[in-house]
Amino acid sequence: MSSPTPAHDDVVHSESFLRLLMRRQLSLSIACAATFLVALLGMPLLNYFAPAFMATRVAGFTLSWLILGVLFFPFVWIISYIFIKRSLRLEEDEVKDVRR
């Protein structure tokens, strides 16, 4: 690893860089977590307030069973795929910002 130049060092160790770094990563994480939590915590509410709707039959399953037992897994894969793509891009941007 090449030894960092003094200018680069100042940027990396500055308070503003750390704040920016954490804020960017955290806001991405929170956005993804919020999407997930709305679905996860919303399910029991739907079951509670709309039991007849959730008991609708879809190809033999009840709607509620189909969502929780099957569809939930791919939903989470999509969130994690989007998160990883964005998070890796963020990291690259951060490296570029410092090196510039």
3-state secondary structure of 58: strand
Give backbone dihedrals phi and psi of 59, rounded to 5 degrees, phi first. Answer: 50, 45
In angstroms, the first-to-last Cα distance of the chain is: 17
Q: CA-CA distance, 88 to 25, in Å (whole number)?
A: 10
Told to check if 86 binds another protein by CB under 8 A, we report no
**Beta carbon of residue 63, minimum distance to another protein (angstroms, whole number):** 10
Interacting residues toward another protein by CB under 8 A: 1, 4, 12-13, 15, 18, 21-22, 25-26, 29, 32-33, 36, 40-41, 44, 47-48, 51-52, 54-55, 57, 59-62, 64-65, 68-70, 72-74, 76-77, 79-81, 83-84, 87-88, 91-92, 94-95, 98
